[in-house]
Amino acid sequence: MAQLEDKKLILVVEDEELYMSSLVEKISKEGFNVISAKNGEEGLAAAIKDHPDLILLDLLMPKVDGMTMLGQLRSYNQWGKKVPVYILTALSSSDEKILQFVDELTPVYYIDKSKIKLSDLIEKIKDTLSQN
């Protein structure tokens, strides 16, 4: 039972069900504990309750978007300011608003989900978590 407690916890906040289930399945198979939320409101509540080791966050979602959720998380407390967040989106990283947002709310990693393989994403997650 102690082994489960040693596993890193990852929160996936994504409204596309097929993509979310693919992420959850792949991350779980790699030995991580995974929780998920389908919008920023649920994501923020799950993050505050469970303090995941890393968050995968979509930007365009219903109720509360990813930018708003991350802003609220970063202002929540010391843990919320430091938890690594991967923004997984299809929005262009050349958008000035997004670039400013990513720069202000570090540690944030911007990943175009249409251009990354899940296996490469898993390697990035492992690398980030091995540093924490």
How do the pLDDT tens digits run along the chain, 132 residues long? 334 457 899 999 999 999 999 999 999 999 999 999 999 999 999 999 999 999 999 988 889 988 899 999 999 889 999 999 999 887 665 566 666 666 666 667 888 888 899 999 999 999 999 886
Asked if 13 and 58 count as a contact pair (C-beta separation under 8 A), the reply is yes
CATH number of 2-114: 3.40.50.2300
At 95 the pLDDT is 62
Cα–Cα distance for residue pair 97/102, rounded to 1 Å: 9
Q: Which residue has the tokens 């944030």?
A: 108
Q: Between the CA of residue 8 and those of 84, 117, 128, what are the distances in Å?
A: 12, 21, 11
Query: Residue 33: its pLDDT value, please?
Result: 96
